[in-house]
């Protein structure tokens, strides 16, 4: 079985950071025998410029077939005045919707060398490695009824939290599968004390656990207490699974425990395909950063760590993913910094390609 990968660099710094990832993919092919069948295509403004739409049908079809999609970023001032239907973001939204990517994975990982950039104390965050799994396609952002109505002479804003058993079941499975590839521990967060959807959430997560994942350690926590625990002692967690709304908040909190936007990878997973692998889209959390695009300033690490996630969660190459993460850790420990990581420190930052060179050298040294 050949491993297939679709690369969509996109706009702004997307192509710049993706160029570094491509060199790393080639390195794994040459030195570790990981032969990927890689294809590259357009998304976002880059696709609009050529096809008049932010994602061509042929690209969409290709994304449905491959083992993993790796995306850079989309958008930029050049496209700000386009009609809503063809805005670059619509390309990304179409991918997420048509691939039905219901589990959004946001790791919060703290490299020792950057621990002092955190707003929390060094020993609270140093070595942190947790994963938030947020349900992405249902819940209060989608539930009906919704809207603003008139009632008793005033306006009422309405949104509905709504989860079916199958929606909870499938995201719980994603979380348990991930936990088995990590620290084997899941904490499920809801508000079963005040919300019926939370009661059902807790019941279904427990049922999936007892039936199919009894080997994984499961705990339940109210989401507000979870927010407190994330700030107090985040290392108690491995995988956190939660709904769309709580996940939106908790994943942003967790991300900021660890520093720069240029460091944050993500993944969105869907249902298992015929080969047992989940549909998967990997992408950095950051956008196209038009303020620094084309200047060689972008930090490629978020995109490189997104590829490391693909190695672990789509290609069953956990050891090679660790090798890549250790290489990133090594260059940071050696003081190699792109401009976004300089902050209070002095010294000369490296370029995007300079960071790529350093990581490749660290990979080479790992052999």
Residues at the contact surface with ligand NAI, assessed by CB under 6 A: 13, 17, 73-76, 89, 92, 261-262, 283, 286-292, 298-299, 302, 340
Binding of residue 190 to Mg ion (CB under 5 A): no
Query: Of 129, 169, 224, 357, which is the active-site residue?
Result: 224
Out of ligand NAI, Mg ion, none, what residue 298 binds, judged by CB under 5 to 8 A for its kind, is ligand NAI
85: annotated binding-site residue? yes
Decide if 191 is catalytic.
yes
Binding of residue 248 to Mg ion (CB under 5 A): yes
- Tell me the chain's radius of gyration from C-alpha atoms: 21
Phi, psi of 143 (to 5 degrees): -65, 145
295: annotated binding-site residue? yes
Is the Cβ–Cβ distance between 131 and 238 less than 8 Å?
Answer: yes
Decide if 129 is catalytic.
no
- Helices 223-232 & 244-256, crossing angle to 10 degrees? 10
DSSP string, 281-303: EEEESS---TTTTTTT----HHH
Q: For the CB of residue 281, give the shortest distance to ligand NAI in the complex, in Å.
A: 10
Query: Of 238, 243, 248, 340, which is the active-site residue?
Result: 248
Q: How many C-beta atoms lie closer than 10 Å to residue 133's C-beta?
A: 28
Q: Which residues, listed in sequence order, are joined to residue 143 by a DSSP beta bridge?
A: 160
132: annotated binding-site residue? no
Distance CA 222, CA 219 (A): 10
Q: For the CB of residue 230, give the shortest distance to ligand NAI in the complex, in Å.
A: 22
Decide if 313 is catalytic.
no
Out of Mg ion, ligand NAI, none, what residue 248 binds, judged by CB under 5 to 8 A for its kind, is Mg ion
- Calculate ∠ Cα 14-84-79, nearest 5°: 40
Closer residue to ligand NAI in complex, CB, 29/77: 77
Taking every pair of C-alpha atoms in the chain, what is the biggest distance, in angstroms?
72
Instruction: Name the residues that contact Mg ion, by CB under 5 A.
Output: 248, 252
What are the binding residues for substrate? 96, 106, 134, 224
What are the binding residues? 76-89, 96, 106, 134, 224, 248, 252, 287-299
């Amino acid at each position: 079985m050949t491993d297939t990968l679709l690369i969509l660099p996109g706009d702004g710094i997307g192509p710049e950071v993706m160029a570094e990832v491509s060199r790393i993919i080639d390195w794994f092919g040459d030195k570790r025998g990981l032969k990927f069948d890689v294809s590259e295509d357009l998304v976002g403004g880059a696709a609009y410029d050529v096809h008049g739409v932010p994602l061509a049908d042929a690209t969409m079809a290709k994304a449905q077939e491959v083992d993993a999609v790796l995306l850079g970023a989309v958008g930029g001032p050049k496209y700000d005045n386009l009609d809503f239907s063809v805005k670059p973001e619509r390309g990304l939204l179409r991918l997420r919707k048509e691939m039905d990517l219901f589990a959004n994975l946001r790791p919060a990982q703290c490299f020792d060398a950057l621990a002092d950039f955190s707003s929390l104390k060094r020993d609270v965050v140093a070595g942190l490695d947790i994963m938030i799994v947020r349900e992405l396609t249902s819940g209060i952002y989608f539930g009906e009824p919704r809207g603003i109505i008139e009632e008793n002479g005033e306006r009422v804003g309405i949104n509905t939290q709504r989860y079916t058993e199958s929606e909870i079941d499938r995201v719980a499975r994603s979380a348990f599968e991930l936990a088995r590839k990590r620290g084997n521990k899941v904490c499920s967060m809801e508000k079963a004390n005040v919300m019926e959807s939370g009661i059902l959430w807790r019941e279904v997560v427990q049922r999936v656990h007892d039936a199919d994942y009894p080997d994984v350690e499961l705990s339940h926590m109210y989401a507000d207490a979870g927010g407190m625990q994330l700030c107090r002692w985040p290392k108690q967690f491995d995988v956190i699974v939660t709904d769309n709304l709580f996940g939106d908040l908790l994943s942003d909190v967790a991300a900021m425990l660890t520093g720069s936007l240029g460091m944050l990878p993500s993944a969105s997973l869907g249902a298992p395909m015929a080969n047992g692998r989940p549909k998967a889209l990997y992408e950095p959390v950051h956008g196209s950063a038009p303020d620094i695009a084309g200047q060689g300033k972008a930090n490629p690490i978020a995109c490189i760590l997104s590829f490391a996630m693909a190695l672990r969660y789509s290609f069953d190459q956990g050891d090679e993913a660790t090798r890549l993460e250790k290489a990133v850790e090594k260059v940071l420990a050696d003081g190699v910094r792109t401009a976004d990581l300089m902050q209070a420190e002095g010294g000369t930052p490296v370029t995007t390609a300079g960071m790529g060179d350093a990581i490749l050298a660290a990979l080479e040294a790992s052999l």
